[in-house]
C-alpha cells in the first residue's frame, strides 16, 4: 500500500510535467503550453505566423498526424494552439488527431494499436521511459530516414540526440533538454532564519552540499513541525547533483553506476541527512507530503525550507501556486540543486522534451514536418518573449524568477544528467523505485547506508541489465 501511494504520486507528477511541456520558447514551454495558457493576443499570433518563412517547403500528401499520449496536445477550453501547432497548420495545412489514454495504460494501448495495424504516428518522450526499451521492444522506429538530426537546424542539440541512439540510429527527436528537478524555497523563511539567499550563493559559486546540509540541519525542529525537505522528488534531485546517473548507456551497452565514487559521496550525505530526520515524515502521513500531496505546501506557511520539484510547479496562476508563497511579491524563488564543494560544476537533473516515431507510423513525413515546427518554435526569440510575457502577466513571475528559469535551462543543456532507470524495463523501474533510489533516504526510519543498499540490490540490477542488453543485441 505504501508503494502504491508513492507510485501514484510519481505518476501524477509525470503527467503534470508532461502536460506542461510543449514545442517552443528558448528555455521551456511556449506561450500556450497545453492546458495552461491563455489565448495569444492578435499581435503575438501575427508574430508567430511570420516564422513560417523559415520552415522548409514540403508538399505533404497526408496532412494529418496521429498522437497517442496520456494528455492532450491540441488546445483545450478555448485556449490557443501552441506555436508549433500554429506553424504546422499555417505552413503545411497540418493537423493532429488524438488518442488519449491513461498514464498506466499508454504502452498497452500503443501495443494494441500497432498490432492491429492502426499505429499512431508519435508519442511523447518527456517521461524518460521510452528509451531504450522502445528500441528493444520495437515499439518505436528510428527517426533518421525522416529527420536529419545532423543538419544545422539540430546542431545545438546534436549531442543530446546522440545520447538517445543505438547502433547509429536515433530513437528520439529531442527538441531540447529540460530541467527535471530544481530547489524551491521561500525568501521569508530564509531571511527569518538568518540564512544566506541560495540564489546569491549560487551566483557566487558557493551554493554547495556543505551549505545545503547545514541549512537543513539548522532549520529542522520536529517539535515545532519544521522540516527542511519535503516533496516526492528530493532524492532524485540530490542524487543526480553528483553528475553521475545510476543507469546509463555507454558504447551501446546499458550499464549501472552504483559503485561510482561520486555516487557514493552523495549517497553518504543523503544517509546523514536522513539520520538527522530533516525530511517531512511521509510514512506518518500515508506517504503523502505535507498537506496530502499538494505541491508547495509548507513553503508558504514557512514550515518547510526546501522543496525540490520541477519548475512546472509554479508555471500556473497565483491561485494554483499560493501554497509556495506570494510569487508576485518576490517571496518564492528556486535555484539548481547544490553542487559538490570539490567541483566547479552545477549538474542538472534533466529530462528531454521530445518525441518518438511509433512503429509502422502511417505518416512519418508529417511527423518530420511537425518536428521542424517544434524546433523552430523552440529556437525562436519571438516565442520565448511571448512565454516570458505570460509568465509575468498571468503567473505574476518576477524578473528574478524568469532569469533563474533560463539559467536552469542553460544548465540542462551544458551539464545534464539523464538517468535511464525508468526507460529499460518495468522490472528495473520497480526495483530502482522500491529498493535503490530512496534506499538511503526513505522517511519511515528504515533508511540504510549506501553500502547496504548496493550490496542488497546490485546483483538484481546487473541481472536485469544483462537481460536487457541481450535482448537489445538479439
pLDDT tens, residue by residue, 255-284: 999 999 999 999 999 999 999 999 999 888
pTM of the model: 0.90
What does the pLDDT average to over 176-186? 98
What is the secondary structure of 200-227 as a DSSP string?
Answer: HHHHTT--BHHHHHHHHHHH-BGGGTBE
Contact between residue 355 and residue 203 where contact means Cβ atoms under 8 Å apart: no
Would you say residue 21 has pLDDT above 70? no
Residues 6 or more apart from 237 whose CB is under 8 A from it?
Answer: 180, 181, 182, 183, 308, 337, 349
Looking at residue 3, what is its pLDDT? 32
Of residues 362 and 80, which shows the higher confidence score?
Answer: 362
Same fold, 2-179+351-412 and 182-347+419-473: yes
Q: pLDDT-based confidence at 236, cuts 50/70/90?
A: very high
Looking at residue 28, what is its pLDDT? 39
Would you say residue 8 has pLDDT above 60? no
What does the pLDDT average to over 189-193? 98
Contact between residue 199 and residue 333 where contact means Cβ atoms under 8 Å apart: yes
Class of domain 2-179+351-412: alpha beta
Q: pLDDT-based confidence at 132, cuts 50/70/90?
A: very high
Domain spans, the chain: 2-179+351-412, 182-347+419-473
Which 3 state secondary structure label does DSSP give 349?
strand
Would you say residue 194 has pLDDT above 50? yes
Task: Determine how many CB atoms are found less than 10 A away from the CB of residue 97.
Answer: 11
Contact between residue 418 and residue 424 where contact means Cβ atoms under 8 Å apart: no
| 292-324: burial string, b at 16+ Cβ within 10 Å, e else | ebebbbbbbebbbbbbbbbbbbbbbeeebbebb
Can you say whether residue 472 is alpha, beta or left, with left for phi > 0 and alpha for psi between -120 and 50 degrees? alpha
Which 3 state secondary structure label does DSSP give 433?
helix
The helix (run of H) or strand (run of E) holding residue 199 is helix 198-203
Would you say residue 12 has pLDDT above 90? no
Would you say residue 10 has pLDDT above 80? no
Q: How far apart, in whole angstroms, are the C-alpha atoms of residue 306 and residue 283? A: 19
Q: Cell triple for residue 299?
A: 513553503
The helix (run of H) or strand (run of E) holding residue 451 is helix 450-473
Would you say residue 20 has pLDDT above 50? no
Q: pLDDT-based confidence at 187, cuts 50/70/90?
A: very high
Looking at residue 216, what is its pLDDT? 98
What phi and psi, each to the nearest 5 degrees, are found at residue 175?
Answer: -75, -45
Looking at residue 445, what is its pLDDT? 57
The alpha carbon dihedral of 301, 407, 315, 308 has a sign of negative
Looking at residue 42, what is its pLDDT? 61
Looking at residue 444, what is its pLDDT? 56
Would you say residue 343 has pLDDT above 70? yes
Beta-strand ranges (E) seen in 20-113 are 64-69, 95-100
The closest alpha carbon to 183, from 268, 264, 127, 240, belongs to 240
Q: What is the pLDDT of residues 284-327, one digit of tens each?
A: 888 889 988 889 999 999 999 999 999 999 999 999 999 999 99
Q: What is the pLDDT of residues 414-453, one digit of tens each?
A: 999 999 999 999 999 999 988 898 899 875 557 899 999 9
β-partners of residue 417 are: 349
Mean of all residue pLDDT scores within the chain: 90
Count the residues in the chain. Answer: 474
For β-strands 348-358 and 253-256, DSSP reports them as unpaired
Would you say residue 233 has pLDDT above 70? yes
Contact between residue 25 and residue 378 where contact means Cβ atoms under 8 Å apart: yes
β-partners of residue 254 are: 249
Looking at residue 135, what is its pLDDT? 92
Looking at residue 443, what is its pLDDT? 54
Would you say residue 127 has pLDDT above 50? yes
Contact between residue 229 and residue 185 where contact means Cβ atoms under 8 Å apart: no
Would you say residue 221 has pLDDT above 60? yes
| 154-168: burial string, b at 16+ Cβ within 10 Å, e else | beebeebbebbbbee
3-state secondary structure 38-53: CCCCHHHHHHHHHHHH
Q: Could you give the percent of the chain with pLDDT greater than 70?
A: 90
Residues 6 or more apart from 100 whose CB is under 8 A from it?
Answer: 69, 70, 71, 72
Q: pLDDT-based confidence at 175, cuts 50/70/90?
A: very high
Task: Determine how many CB atoms are found less than 10 A away from the CB of residue 262.
Answer: 16
Beta-strand ranges (E) seen in 22-113 are 64-69, 95-100
Q: What is the pLDDT of residues 42-68, one digit of tens each?
A: 666 788 888 999 999 999 999 999 999
Would you say residue 39 has pLDDT above 80? no
Looking at residue 283, what is its pLDDT? 83
The CATH number of 182-347+419-473, from 3.40.190.10, 3.40.50.1000, 3.40.50.10540, 3.40.47.10, is 3.40.190.10
Q: How far apart, in whole angstroms, are the C-alpha atoms of residue 129 and residue 212? A: 30
Q: pLDDT-based confidence at 14, cuts 50/70/90?
A: very low
Amino acid at each position: 500500500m505504501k508503494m502504491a501511494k508513492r507510485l501514484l504520486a510519481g505518476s501524477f507528477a509525470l503527467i503534470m510535467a508532461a502536460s506542461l511541456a510543449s514545442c517552443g520558447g528558448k528555455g521551456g514551454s511556449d506561450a500556450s503550453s497545453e492546458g495552461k495558457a491563455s489565448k495569444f493576443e492578435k499581435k503575438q499570433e501575427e508574430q508567430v505566423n511570420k516564422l513560417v518563412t523559415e520552415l522548409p517547403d514540403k508538399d505533404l500528401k497526408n496532412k494529418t498526424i496521429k498522437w497517442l499520449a496520456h494528455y492532450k496536445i491540441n488546445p483545450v477550453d478555448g485556449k490557443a494552439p501552441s506555436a508549433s501547432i500554429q506553424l504546422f497548420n499555417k505552413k503545411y495545412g497540418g493537423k493532429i488527431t488524438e488518442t488519449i489514454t491513461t498514464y498506466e495504460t499508454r504502452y498497452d494501448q500503443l501495443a494494441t494499436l500497432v498490432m492491429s495495424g492502426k499505429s499512431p504516428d508519435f508519442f511523447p518522450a518527456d517521461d524518460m521511459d521510452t528509451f531504450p526499451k522502445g528500441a528493444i521492444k520495437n515499439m518505436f522506429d528510428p527517426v533518421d530516414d525522416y529527420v536529419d538530426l545532423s543538419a544545422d537546424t539540430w546542431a545545438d542539440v546534436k549531442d543530446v540526440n546522440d545520447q538517445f541512439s543505438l547502433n547509429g540510429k536515433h530513437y528520439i527527436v529531442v527538441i531540447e533538454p529540460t530541467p527535471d528537478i530544481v530547489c524551491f524555497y521561500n525568501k521569508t523563511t530564509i531571511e527569518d532564519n538568518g540564512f544566506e539567499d541560495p540564489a546569491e550563493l549560487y551566483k557566487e559559486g558557493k551554493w554547495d552540499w556543505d551549505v545545503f546540509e547545514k541549512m537543513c540541519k539548522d532549520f529542522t525542529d520536529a517539535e515545532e513541525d519544521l522540516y527542511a525537505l519535503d516533496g516526492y522528488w528530493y532524492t532524485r534531485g540530490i542524487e543526480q547533483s553528483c553528475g553521475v546517473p545510476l543507469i546509463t548507456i555507454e558504447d551501446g551497452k546499458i550499464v549501472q553506476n552504483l559503485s561510482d565514487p561520486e555516487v557514493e559521496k552523495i549517497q553518504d550525505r543523503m544517509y546523514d541527512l536522513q539520520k538527522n530526520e530533516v525530511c517531512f515524515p511521509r510514512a506518518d502521513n500515508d506517504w503523502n507530503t505535507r498537506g496530502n500531496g499538494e505541491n508547495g505546501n509548507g513553503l508558504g506557511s514557512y514550515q518547510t525550507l526546501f522543496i525540490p520539484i520541477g519548475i512546472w510547479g509554479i508555471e500556473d496562476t497565483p491561485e494554483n501556486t499560493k501554497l509556495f508563497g506570494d510569487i508576485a511579491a518576490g517571496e518564492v524563488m528556486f535555484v539548481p540543486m547544490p553542487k559538490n564543494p570539490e567541483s566547479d560544476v552545477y549538474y542538472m537533473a534533466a529530462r528531454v522534451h521530445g518525441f518518438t516515431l511509433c512503429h509502422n507510423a502511417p505518416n512519418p513525413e508529417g511527423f518530420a514536418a511537425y518536428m521542424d515546427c517544434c524546433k523552430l518554435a523552440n529556437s525562436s526569440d519571438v516565442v520565448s518573449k511571448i512565454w516570458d510575457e505570460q509568465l509575468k502577466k498571468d503567473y505574476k513571475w518576477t524578473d528574478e524568477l524568469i532569469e533563474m528559469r533560463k539559467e536552469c535551462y542553460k544548465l540542462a543543456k551544458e551539464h545534464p544528467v539523464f538517468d535511464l532507470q525508468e526507460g529499460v524495463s518495468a522490472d528495473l523501474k520497480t526495483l530502482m523505485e522500491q529498493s535503490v533510489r530512496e534506499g538511503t533516504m526513505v522517511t519511515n526510519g528504515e533508511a540504510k547506508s549506501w553500502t547496504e543498499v548496493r550490496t542488497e540490490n546490485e546483483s538484481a540490477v546487473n541481472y536485469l541489465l544483462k537481460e536487457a542488453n541481450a535482448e537489445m543485441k538479439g
